[in-house]
Structure 1
């Protein structure tokens, strides 16, 4: 698993939930992006915002890392307008065959997260190919 303390993992959980909220995802989309069970309900997601940390699972942790990386890259790409993150995630993009970055993530899972992050973060893309 990880070497995060409970407090650190709770902070990561809250941060990722804020990111997903800024992307304006539905409950179903958030569950899918996080790689949680399809039976996860809205009330369970709400607990992640305040009371409960995500499952300490290596696959989920990898997804969280990509989500935070995408968010950070969007913040540096659009430093003067944080609302652009949602717009960019939901705008068709020529490098994704005129699909939205969000649809790539939803269709391709962790590979989609990696593709979107690579598009935004050239250092991540370079490290991934090295």
Structure 2
């Protein structure tokens, strides 16, 4: 992801906090999913949703890119009901050894986020596997 100016990072922060809120992710989980610094207080997530831009950090931006990819894949998978994506993220799934996809992302970090995206987004999974046409 290319370098973003502070205003773009602010818009991205608002969008991603709103998305994570819709998914039912608590502020402490939001800090984990975004890979924010350890000292980030969960209560600061409200500021990211209002007036604090995301840090200019490559790992944070990579995580945001994957989370947006997951949201897009959920919209494609469930085009008629946006709430189904949230439901899917919060139900046990055989693909993840009967774990909840959201828990996979929270517990396994970036690898878990990538695993959930790869499961939902076959084009992303295809690119990851190195099987380019």
| TM-score bin, normalised by smaller chain | over 0.9
Q: Distance in 2 between matches of 1:28 and 1:42?
A: 5
Instruction: Check conservation: 2:31, 2:42, Cα contact below 8 A.
Output: no
Corresponding residue for residue 80 of structure 1: 80
TM-score by length of 2: 0.91
The aligned counterpart of 1:63 is 63
Once residues 90 and 15 of structure 1 are traced to their aligned partners in structure 2, the CA distance between those partners, rounded to angstroms, is 20
CA, structure 1 residues 97+22, in 2 after alignment: closer, same or farther (shift >3 Å)?
same
Q: How many residues align?
A: 130
Deviation (angstroms), 1:27: 1.5
**Alpha-carbon separation, structure 2, partners of 1:12 and 1:123:** 23
- TM-align CA RMSD: 1.4
What's the CA shift string for 1:32-67, capped at 9, x where partnerless?
A: 111123442243111100101111100111000001
CA contact (8 A) 1:22 1:85 kept: no
Task: Spell out the pairing of 1:96-115 with structure 2 (5 A cutoff).
Answer: 96-115=96-115
Q: SS at the partner of 1:109?
A: helix
Deviating above 3 A after TM superposition, structure 1's stretches of 4 or more consecutive aligned residues are none
Structure 2 runs not aligned, ≥5 long: none
* CA deviations over 1:19-38 (Å, ceiling 9, x no partner): 10110111111111111234
Higher alpha-carbon deviation: 66-75 or 23-32: 23-32
Aligned partner of 1:27 in structure 2 is 27
> For structure 1, which runs of at least 5 residues remain unmatched after alignment?
none
